Amino acid sequence: MPLTVPTLDDRNFDDLVRELLARIPGHTPEWTHPAPGDPGRTILELFAWLVDTLLYRVNRIPERQRLAFLKLLHIPVRPATPARGLLVLEPAHPKKPEVVSVPVGTAVTGPVPFETTGEIMVCPLEGEAYVKRAPTPDEAARLQRVLEGLQSIYGLSGSRDAPAAMAYITTPVFEERKAQASGVNIADAVDGCLWMALLSPSGADPEAVRRSLSRGNAGPRVLNMGWSPALQVPGILEILGPRGAVAHEWEITSSRAMPTGDPEYLTLEVVDDGTHGLLEEGVVRLLLPDIDDVGAPENDLEKDLFAGVGNRPPRLDDDDKASRLIAWIRLRPTQPVQDLSVTWAGINAVCIDQRRTLRNLIVGVSDGTADQEFDLPGASVDPKSLTLQVEEARQGFVSWRRTPDLATAGRDDRVYELDSEAGSVRFGDGVRGRIPSAGMRIRVEVMRFGGGRSGNLPAGSLTAVSHPKCKAFQPLATSGGEDPESPEEAEKRIPAVLRHANRAVTEEDYRQLAAETPAVRLGRVEVLARFKPQQRRFDVPGVVSVLVLPWKEDRQPPCPRPDRLCLERVHAYLDARRPLGTELYVIGCEYKPVAVGVAVRIREGHRRDLVLQNVRRALREVLWPLTPGGFDGAGWPLGGAVVDRDLEVAVARVTGVRQVTDLRLFSLDADGWRPLHPTSQGAPVVLALEPWQLPELLQVVCLEGDRAPESMERSPLDHLDPGTPVLPIPVVPEVC
């Protein structure tokens, strides 16, 4: 028998009115006609409304008990997660160059509040990234004679004593400071380096810029270098282990030259590396040498024939940029790397997050009673940033310590308990934690709060900061913001928390815990017990593979695929909770491309285009891997074969379809789209899938008639009658 929460009183307004009217003959028989509108009937209805309101409150007692149970189990409602990203700060008046120090916590103006979380010295410089790109085969063919002439000029014969010439093209990356979603692999460059040209702002005097960068009495200058690696979607066979930091050096061109004529490079000291070795999005803070020790090699070929040759920086062919060049910064890997892809890199970058900071606010006055609770001036509070102080006689404000559970506190411990999501603090009862003295004030010295999905903004949404001497530019989208958990969602977690107790043992434990991974929004989690993805083999003892797919709003191709950051976060969260002897893998699924061609007959009275559009939508929905895809609304089953007759059922359910006359399945291989055929006469057409695979519907062709398209490679006009000559002719509209 199922356990259901009982309703303490299930009567509603109408039930109460009927019950009152039924009592009239027994109590007031002289009242023979209690019709609607009668004054007595109105009084009865008013009484019924008041009772209905009371019953509503009474029936909320079970809900209150569940919430009390949450607190008793110390299962807090999850607070909002703030979105994070990078922001570029620039001088507001570039023609008056000066170095501006922007403090931590500077407000960023935008659709939702953001703040800077790191230090930055905004230098009056523009940064442009370049790579020495090898020419394509077509370019190499066109430049063959030029390259032969350069070999003769530089005396490069390619013999054992003289090196061969290697042509390169100075190629700007991240033009107009915009990120490249596909990423740029620095390892593919001729020299394997990323070059950052430091230019004086347009219209500014380069010498004035150099003077502003001089240490003088202001001390050393620190340049913030923003970095966002390109994280590719890992394959199912790739082992997700800790990524090794990329061994590299940051170097800047010196004002001196080597005896050979090559420029001297000064190694820059890294003050702080927020990228953890170029592995994560963040900021690298570089200590600049004195400006007198920094310079740029000659860029003019008329003055230096070897400009841009060998170990020298790329040659700039733009005379304006060459005249504004202050120095070059070079990112040089010190060990060979196969892949060093970056989505964006630039100077004067700072980390931001979707929070606000409040300081020195009085939140209440103690009345000396036990278990006092005070509301903070904000929800989704960051516990690490909160500093709470309580006024004490002859001592002023004294900082108290946060504890996860007041039940573990001693009588005289100055502690409080924080409800991060609600934004409230609770003090002890004199036995478990000290009670603030009566009349003493409670003060928040520092508090940061905020977060939510509203902070996931596209690039270019944030354009200003509160500092008067700076303006802002957002090169990358902010990400990671999640809304706070609702009490209803927290209640649903009670059985799961009691079952797994924050430990992954059963398949359901892995599924529940993976879905709870912070800063990751998953659309589907599947657990493949005893499956080892590298060998594609089941029944391997001690192995658990967790397959995850991120959430995706629309149902258009491509299907959702987890990137490396998503998989690493889920793996790290589960790895801390798995049994010691379990071998854990977190993987994405392997998609098998499929195309569908279908022909239908349409009922009279229905619009042809609308019906065909709904047929395409129905096929995409039924083959979609996330909810509400599949036939049961939970997404297409993992490893479930695609059968033409199942798809015919989905098409036949579309409003306006009278008959499904033909349906064909196609799979994609090295030779293109290949039609699938039944294994025997009368058998269904089946696209078989492995247990770790899902279908990905890439093409849908829907026609009205008796015959579905026989190929996905044919012309759009091939579905017409072959005997009908067709000559497409453009129609020129009338011009008024």
**Residue 251 is encoded by which pair of tokens?**
């170097």
Burial letters for 376-386: b for 16+ Cβ neighbours within 10 Å, e otherwise?
bebbbbbeeeb
Phi/psi zone of residue 337: left (φ > 0), alpha (ψ -120 to 50 degrees), beta?
beta
Same domain assignment for residues 189 and 248: yes
Q: How many residues does the chain have?
A: 736
Instruction: Give domain status of residue 475, yes or no.
Output: no
Same domain assignment for residues 526 and 560: yes
pLDDT tens for 179-228 read 988 889 999 988 889 999 999 998 888 899 998 888 775 678 999 999 99
Instruction: Give domain status of residue 467, yes or no.
Output: no
The domain that holds 506 is classified in CATH as 3.30.300
Same domain assignment for residues 568 and 600: no
The domain that holds 416 is classified in CATH as 2.60.40
Name the 3-class secondary structure at 222.
Answer: strand
Q: How far apart are CA 711 and CA 343, in angstroms?
A: 38
Q: Which residues pair with 131 in a beta bridge?
A: 171
Same domain assignment for residues 620 and 679: yes
CB count, 10 Å around CB of 413?
Answer: 16
Instruction: Give domain status of residue 152, yes or no.
Output: no
CA dist 385 → 270, 357, 402, 483 (Å): 26, 9, 11, 20
3-state helix, strand, coil in the chain (%, to 5): 20, 30, 50
Cα atoms in the 13 Å half-sphere on the side-chain side of 689? 21
Contacts of 314 (CB under 8 A, 6+ apart): 130, 131, 132, 168, 170, 195, 308
Q: How far apart are CA 230 and CA 233, in angstroms?
A: 10
Same domain assignment for residues 216 and 271: yes
Instruction: Give domain status of residue 463, yes or no.
Output: no
Contacts of 376 (CB under 8 A, 6+ apart): 363, 423, 424, 425, 444, 447, 449
Q: How far apart are CA 271 and CA 713, in angstroms?
A: 57
Same domain assignment for residues 558 and 670: no
**Residue 316 is encoded by which pair of tokens?**
């700039």
DSSP 8-state class, residue 384? T
Q: How far apart are CA 364 and CA 301, in angstroms?
A: 73
Q: How far apart are CA 377 and CA 425, in angstroms?
A: 11
Instruction: Give domain status of residue 317, yes or no.
Output: yes
Q: How far apart are CA 396 and CA 390, in angstroms?
A: 8
Please state the domain count of the chain. Answer: 5
Q: How far apart are CA 615 and CA 619, in angstroms?
A: 6
Which parts of the chain have pLDDT scores under 70?
1-9, 59-74, 146-165, 217-218, 233-243, 258-261, 713-736
Contact 550, 586 (CB under 8 A): no
Same domain assignment for residues 207 and 276: yes
Name the 3-class secondary structure at 7.
Answer: coil
Instruction: Give domain status of residue 276, yes or no.
Output: yes
pLDDT at 716: 42
- The last residue of one of the domains, among 587, 609, 624, is 587
Q: How far apart are CA 604 and CA 204, in angstroms?
A: 73
Same domain assignment for residues 176 and 323: yes
Contact 527, 578 (CB under 8 A): no
Cα atoms in the 13 Å half-sphere on the side-chain side of 73? 20
Q: How far apart are CA 357 and CA 380, in angstroms?
A: 12
Same domain assignment for residues 380 and 427: yes
pLDDT at 283: 96
Q: Residue 595's closest CA among 686, 652, 670, 664?
A: 664
Residue the block writes with tokens 């200590």: 287
Q: Residue 620's closest CA among 710, 523, 512, 701?
A: 701
At residue 399, φ and ψ (nearest 5 deg) are -70, 135
Q: How far apart are CA 288 and CA 266, in angstroms?
A: 10
Contacts of 684 (CB under 8 A, 6+ apart): 643, 644, 645, 678
Same domain assignment for residues 552 and 641: no
Same domain assignment for residues 383 and 333: no
Burial letters for 165-201: b for 16+ Cβ neighbours within 10 Å, e otherwise?
bebbebebbbeebebeeebbbbeebebbbbbbbbbbb
Same domain assignment for residues 271 and 388: no
Q: Which domain holds residue 26?
A: 13-59
Instruction: Give domain status of residue 693, yes or no.
Output: yes
Instruction: Give domain status of residue 104, yes or no.
Output: no
